[in-house]
A and B are shown apart, each in its own frame.
Chain A
């Protein structure tokens, strides 16, 4: 099991969809943290508290992007746990995972 604390390990200012949008983009977070963790670990906890805020484009690319890269939705749902004080973040991420289609 691994716990990823976004604010501590990635950035307190996550922003942008793609790497070209900035150093703390959803694409970068997905490739550097999420994808390796999902591939290696049986359980991945992502703690969102502590960051200044999240844009939908960041969230969609980071989490919906996993599906586009070929990770099965069932695998993501089984392994991934989102922890956030703001309830809407968890639900929004779940929607992006459900709605994304493999590329």
Chain B
């Protein structure tokens, strides 16, 4: 009766090493693609935010009240928030107060026909809009850094949350 040859475990080691190597490379590649995708989404949000700031500035510095511009800018703030919610790494609760601050900076004062006055470049309203916009940028970068390292392997196995402290 023929005897079954003993399994040579040593011969399977190269296969195991090759499979593990492939899996690790695939994992790194996937992580890199995700990171690039998120970076690209955030860069587009920067463009939206910059456009809001520019439009708000143009509206408040306009010689006359422009209802079309006012409608467009409040619409863009709403769209910005919805676009931010689509970025998978973002925790939207952490953005809420910053978005409110931006909307308030742009649309609370000097935003209606009855109280509109052309604003000078050094106006407090324009300063508030600038700072509110910067705060959103900063929070986006904070959340990006919470998820991705700046050096190899460019991602984090565990998420470390950094909150901004208000003094």
Chain A residues in the interface with B (C-beta under 8 A)? 13, 15-18, 20-22, 25, 52-58, 60, 85-88, 91-92, 95
Contact = CB atoms under 8 A, between A and B. Distances in A.
Contacts of A25: 112
B114 A56 contact: no
Top 6 A-B pairs, shortest CB-CB distance: A53-B74, A55-B107, A53-B75, A56-B108, A88-B99, A53-B78
Contact of B92 (A20, A53, A60, A87): A87
Interface string B88-113: 00001101110110011011110111
B69 to A, nearest CB: 11
Given A15-B67, A85-B82, A86-B78, A56 B113 contact: no
Given A87-B96, A88-B100, A91-B96, A17 B74 contact: no
Main secondary structure on A side of the interface with B: loop
A54 B76 CA distance: 10
18 contacts: A15-B74, A15-B112, A16-B113, A17-B115, A52-B71, A52-B75, A53-B74, A53-B78, A54-B103, A55-B74, A57-B109, A86-B78, A87-B93, A88-B99, A91-B100, A92-B100, A92-B104, A95-B100
Nearest to B79: A53
